[in-house]
Amino acid sequence: MPMFKEWQVNRLVGRDFVDFADYTPSELNYLLELAEAIKEKQKKGEKYQPLSGKTLGMFFTKASTRTRVSFEVGMYQLGGHALFLSNGDTQLGRGEPISDTAKVMSRYVDGIMIRTFAHEDVVELAEHASVPVINALTDLHHPCQVLADILTLKEHKGQLEGLTVAYVGDGNNMANSWIQAAPKFGLNMRVATPVGYECDPAVVAQAKQFAREFGTELVVTNDPVEAVAGADVIYTDVWASMGQEAEQAERVKKFAAFQVNEELCKHAKDDFLFMHCLPAHRGEEVTAGIIDGPHSVVFDEAENRLHVQKAILVATIG
């Protein structure tokens, strides 16, 4: 593919990446193109270090494997440096206001990444920081993962517009980010959840507006078969996310009919892709035969977290 034009790198400098709401389709596709170009450079062994001398502060109040490693490796490969800051390492853990932390950190680092529980904390951090803030996961949204998923989908299908993605399971941060992003990429979206576990109502209303604006389909249902019928992609996530461990037994009962298994997948297209953000619980939300089978692209998604996040870092930090 042709390399991105160097002038394009400055398009999003200084912007936060909190969710998909404030990004246009053009800007989101630019991030995908930038990720593709950076990935191509890496595969060729070409050094690309536009963030030489730059530092990323990384706040974690939730445990992480892929997020921490991909951001740290990404900053290193881009020539920069990443600082890991757990809740016990900072004054945030002792009650310092988020606004104060944002103002202080903005004088030390070139960008802030945060993985936490309350989405409002990320919004407040971005409001008071004078450097870009990247949402690496909250209970409401997980935009870095969904952008990596969409890059993976584009790589495997060759195009995005008109494809149908079926999300089956908990209406959590993954589902929220998917319905928010899908219309801006020309994707049709269907979400099937058990009653009482639907996506955030405000995000659904926003996503419906985006679907009308961009001419795509958005279906929200409690029937997994309706969601999967004729779908190009089947997506799922764990039934109990971090912080919901006490609900595990109850959720297993209520979500049993929403397992992504061989029988459910018969309703999708023959060449459907299976996606999962990982970590996965084989035998719960998905059978081993599906996640480890020929339709699964879960490890391609995991790899693409690195490339997409490098694109976000380059685009926003500059």
Going by the annotation, the residues of the binding site are: 64-67, 91, 115, 142-145, 173, 237, 241-242, 277-278, 305
Residues 178 and 167 sit within 8 Å (Cβ to Cβ): yes
| Helices then strands, each counted (H, E), the chain | 12, 9
User: Which one of the listed residues 145, 180, 206, 259 is annotated catalytic?
Assistant: 145
- Alpha-carbon span 31 to 35, nearest angstrom: 6
Active-site annotation holds for 115: yes
C-alpha 118/C-alpha 99 separation (Å) is 15
Question: Who's near 209: CB < 8 A, 6+ residues apart?
Answer: none
Sequence ranges of the binding site for L-ornithine: 173, 237, 241-242
**Residue of 142, 190, 251, 307 with catalytic role:** 142
Let me know if 277 is a catalytic residue.
Answer: yes
**Which member of 200, 277, 307, 309 is catalytic?**
277
Can 237 be counted among the known catalytic residues?
yes
Catalytic status, residue 142: yes
CA–CA separation, 180 vs 138, rounded Å? 15
Set 237, 251, 276, 307: catalytic member:
237
Displacement of CA 47 from its chain's centroid (Å)? 26
Query: In whole angstroms, what is the distance from residue 205 CA to residue 67 CA?
Result: 29
Distance CA 82, CA 97 (A): 23
Query: Can you tell me whether residue 188 is helix, strand or coil?
Result: strand
* Phi-psi label, residue 24: left if phi above 0, alpha if psi -120 to 50, beta otherwise: beta
Nearest to 151, CA basis, from 179, 187, 196, 197: 187
Q: Which is the catalytic residue, given 15, 115, 190, 251? A: 115
For the question of residue 305 being annotated catalytic, the response is yes
Q: Alpha-carbon distance 291 to 270, whole Å?
A: 16
Binding residues for carbamoyl phosphate: 64-67, 91, 115, 142-145, 277-278, 305
Residue from 15, 141, 305, 307 carrying the catalytic annotation: 305
Exposed, middle or buried by CB within 10 Å (0-12, 13-18, 19+), for 47?
Answer: exposed
Instruction: Give the residue numbers marked as catalytic.
Output: 115, 142, 145, 237, 277, 305
